[in-house]
Amino acid sequence: MDLKSALTKTIKGDVSDDAQTLETYSKDASIFEIKPELVIAPKDSEDVQKLVQFVLDNPERNLTLTPRAAGTCMSGGPLSESLVLDMTKYFDKVIKVRDDYVVTEPGVFYRDFEKETLKKELLLPCYTSSRELCTVGGMVGNNSAGEKTLSYGQTERWVKELKVVLSDGNEYTIKPLNKSELEAKIKQNNFEGDLYRRIFDLIERNSDLIQKHAPQTSKNSTGYYLWKVYDEEKGIFDLSKIIVGSQGTLGIVTEITFELVHPKKSKAMLEIELGSLDQLDKVVNDVLEHKPESFECFDDQTIKFSYKFIPDFKKDFKKHNSDPKQLQLLPSFLRDLFKRLPKIVLIAEFTGDSDEEVMAQANKANDSLKKFSKITTRVVSSADEEKYWILRRDSFNILRHHSGKNLRTAPFIDDIIVKPEKLPAFLPKLQKALAPYKKKIIYTIAGHIGNGNFHIIPLMDMHKAEIRALVPEIQEKVFSVVFEFGGSMAAEHNDGLVRGPFLEKMYGAEMANLFKAVKKIFDPNNIFNPHKKIDATSEYSLAHMSGAGITVADYKNNK
């Protein structure tokens, strides 16, 4: 029996192999393209369990399972040559919202999820800049973060409990365990007991190595979070810490329980415009002393694209803000910003319990910057903030859809992070690494400047092999600088195909081997999302770049 027929008889959900569907699911927001064999929309957890069992029962078919949400991943995480599971079609329900938590299915779009939580004046504070496009399951898979991460941390901090289908074909609840609960799990004579026993042993035997190589940056979404699983002091063992950020390589998440917060209602913004990057590090560190809740940035190239496509921004602004007066002001705001065209714009948002409190914070931070020359600052009231947030949040989407006939966004150095205090030494070296390519590529810079997290998005003609060959060359140079300063190559966009080949360079061989051991324990038959993270290779990734890819030999010859 052919595969589609066999799977259609096995599950209740949809199985598709038409050309248009396969083409759509062969791409995400990354630089890669891989056509799946089939696209499956499982109806429920039982379907997912049956799919895992089908793969296990038919080893001769060499099948694997790759979960996919909204397809906004910039690392190639949901791309596969085998079976892609669309989790957005049926796993799309917010199950319940309570006073401080929510239970949801992974395929719920964040925009719909937030509508439900805000009814109780609750918020998931790790939401991303792509909040209108992404799903909550994608946020868990990537360990995503966003503008409030400076104060609230990233997704792993807000996951209370997960339901996950693991490689034995059963669904398990994964949550923090105290010492006695852990001991009970370890004593179980089954797959789950073996899993807890082996991961606990791995962490116990390698605790010094794990802590030594734990990233020191405020955000990180590379590798598996071994350093956060076992809090010996509190006696808490939490396997969700390595499921979050695993990009579907360890199991398939079917339900998520998030902790929520009551957002502070009063806010004020300090806007800072710099004519050059020379004083950026000093300005950033001065503002951070005043503890903004969010601290973001976008550069002159972002402003240029935004100005060029004002109608698109007006549409997006209308979705966020129904005030017609604000909508009318948006074009003039972009025109004025374009006319000034600062090299980079920083926006620091202060929140609190009263308007007086937050205005005082913003004014105090503003006063601290008066010693700097050639910068422009102003305190923005909450009524005028939204224009800046739309520009920051939607810039990549505008760039992606309007990059031109031959140029396209190429996120491959898009998520680097170092400690903010290291910016004075780091930024000149980063600029030096990128300088030789200024005539070959155009790139925008935006990101979470308060965390030292930069999203550098080049525009490139990926149809040209010589341009595609620049990807690994630039990666090596930029990542080497990042690692030199103890940074991470991915603060929130994860490894996938694009950064997986560099994991050993970032962590060292011993730590990379521990990541491989985790994968082997969870997924001994390698049925979940192969070629990502620990088993990603340069050969496979380069060969699957959009535009027909390149080989390692092509890249070396180009050098």
Residue 278 neighbours by CB under 8 Å, 6+ apart = none
Show the tokens assigned to 290.
């005043």
Helix (H) or strand (E) holding 66: strand 65-68
Residues lower than pLDDT 50 in the chain: 322
Residue 294 has a pLDDT of 97
Show the tokens assigned to 291.
């503890």
Task: Give 373-376 contacts, CB < 8 A, sequence gap 24+.
Answer: 374/274, 374/275, 374/276, 374/279, 375/272, 375/273, 375/274, 375/275, 375/279, 375/283, 376/272, 376/273, 376/340, 376/342
* Residue the block writes with tokens 């205090």: 421
The domain 3-86 is placed in CATH, from the list 3.30.43.10, 1.10.3080.10, 1.10.10.10, 3.30.413.10, at 3.30.43.10
To 5 degrees, how large is the angle CA 276–CA 282–CA 288?
A: 120
* Residue the block writes with tokens 């006695």: 180
- The arrangement of secondary structure in 266-484, i.e. its CATH architecture, is 3-Layer(aba) Sandwich (3.40)
Which of 36, 83, 26 has its CA nearest to residue 55? 83
CA distance 553 to 559: 10
Residue 315 has a pLDDT of 64
Lateral strand order in the sheet of 83-86? 14-16, 38-41, 83-86, 65-68
Residue 257 has a pLDDT of 99
Give the dihedral sign, CA 497/499/501/507: negative
Q: Is 197 helix (H, G, I), strand (E, B) or coil?
A: helix
Tell me if 418 sits within 8 A of 485, measured CB to CB.
Answer: yes
Which of 101, 66, 41 has its CA nearest to residue 257? 101
Domain boundaries along the sequence of the chain: 3-86, 94-259, 266-484
HSE, CB side, 13 Å, CA atoms: give it for residue 357: 11
* Fold exhibited by the domain 94-259: 3.30.465
Residue 389 has a pLDDT of 84
Tell me if 524 sits within 8 A of 167, measured CB to CB.
Answer: yes
Residue 132 has a pLDDT of 86
Burial environment of residue 233 by CB neighbours within 10 A (0 to 12, 13 to 18, 19 or more): exposed
CA distance 516 to 185: 23
Angle between helices 310-320 and 324-340 (to 10 degrees): 140
CA distance 463 to 471: 13
Tell me if 223 sits within 8 A of 533, measured CB to CB.
Answer: yes
For residue 283, the one-letter residue type is V
Polymer length of the chain? 559
Scanning 119-164, the segments in alpha helix (DSSP H) are 136-142, 149-152
Residue 386 has a pLDDT of 79
